[in-house]
Chain A
Amino acid sequence: MSPLLEVADLRVHFPVGGGLLAGRRRWCRAVDGVSLALAPGETLGIVGESGCGKTTLGKAICRLVRPTGGTVRVDGEDALRLRGGRLRRYRRRVQMIFQDPAESLNPRQTVGQILEEPLRIHRRGGSTERRRRIAELLDQVGLPRGAADRYSFEFSGGQRQRIGMARALALRPSLIVCDEPVSALDVSVQSQILNLLLDLQDEYHFAYLFISHDLAVVRHMSDRIAVLYLGQMVELADRDELFAQPLHAYTRALISAIPVADPEARRERIVLRGDVPSPIDPPPGCRFAPRSPLPHGEEEAARPGRWEEVRPGHWVEVHPATTGDLLPEA
Chain B
Amino acid sequence: MNPITRRRLQHFRSLKRGYWSFLIFAAIILVAALAELWINQRAIVVSYDGRLYFPTYASQYSGEEFGQDYPYEANYRALKEQFAAPGNPNWVLMPLIPYGPDESVYREGSFPPYPPSARTQHYLGTDPLGRDVLARLVYGFRIALGFSLGLMACTYLLAILIGCAMGYFGGWFDLTGQRLMEIWTNIPFLYVVIILASTIPPAVGAPARIGALLAVMVIFNWIAMANYMRTAAYRERARDYIAAARVIGAGPLRIIFRHLLPNTLSIVVTFIPFTVVAGITALTALDFLGFGIPPPTPSWGELLQQGTNRLDAPWIVASTFVAMVVVLTLVTFIGEGIREAFDPKKFSYFR
Which residues of A come within 8 Å of B, CB atoms?
59, 62-64, 87-88, 91-92, 94-96, 98-100, 102-109, 117-118, 121-122, 151, 153-154, 164, 167, 170-171
Please determine whether B3 and A95 come into contact, CB atoms closer than 8 angstroms: no
What are 11 of the A-B contact pairs (CB < 8 Å)?
A88-B249, A96-B243, A96-B247, A103-B239, A105-B244, A107-B241, A108-B263, A117-B245, A153-B4, A167-B244, A170-B248
Residues 305 to 351 of chain B near chain A (Cβ within 8 Å): 349-350
Please determine whether B2 and A108 come into contact, CB atoms closer than 8 angstroms: yes
Please determine whether A167 and B248 come into contact, CB atoms closer than 8 angstroms: yes
Pick from B2, B241, B247: contact of A95, CB below 8 A: B247
Does B246 reach chain A (CB closer than 8 Å)? yes
Which residues of B come within 8 Å of A, CB atoms?
2-4, 239-241, 243-250, 254, 258-259, 262-263, 349-350
Please determine whether B240 and A153 come into contact, CB atoms closer than 8 angstroms: no
* A91 closest partner in B (C-beta): B249
Please determine whether A59 and B249 come into contact, CB atoms closer than 8 angstroms: no
Q: A64-B247, A91-B247 are in contact. List 20 more A-B contacts (CB 8 A).
A: A59-B243, A64-B246, A96-B247, A103-B240, A103-B241, A103-B350, A106-B241, A106-B244, A106-B259, A106-B263, A107-B241, A108-B2, A108-B263, A109-B262, A117-B245, A118-B248, A118-B249, A121-B250, A153-B350, A154-B3
Q: How far is the CB of B181 from chain A (nearest CB, A)?
A: 18
Q: How far is the CB of A16 from chain B (nearest CB, A)?
A: 16
Complex contacts, B262 vs chain A, CB 8 Å: 106, 108-109
Complex contacts, A107 vs chain B, CB 8 Å: 4, 241, 263, 349-350
Complex contacts, B3 vs chain A, CB 8 Å: 151, 154
Please determine whether A121 and B249 come into contact, CB atoms closer than 8 angstroms: yes
When chains A and B are docked, how far (Å) is the Cα of A154 from the Cα of B262?
A: 18
Complex contacts, A151 vs chain B, CB 8 Å: 2-4
Please determine whether A104 and B2 come into contact, CB atoms closer than 8 angstroms: no
B241, B258, B262, most chain A CB atoms within 10 A: B241
When chains A and B are docked, how far (Å) is the Cα of A105 from the Cα of B3?
A: 16
Please determine whether B249 and A100 come into contact, CB atoms closer than 8 angstroms: no
Complex contacts, B248 vs chain A, CB 8 Å: 91, 95, 117-118, 121, 167, 170-171
When chains A and B are docked, how far (Å) is the Cα of A321 from the Cα of B312?
A: 97
When chains A and B are docked, how far (Å) is the Cα of A94 from the Cα of B249?
A: 10
Please determine whether A62 and B241 come into contact, CB atoms closer than 8 angstroms: no
Q: How far is the CB of B1 from chain A (nearest CB, A)?
A: 10
When chains A and B are docked, how far (Å) is the Cα of A128 from the Cα of B240?
A: 29
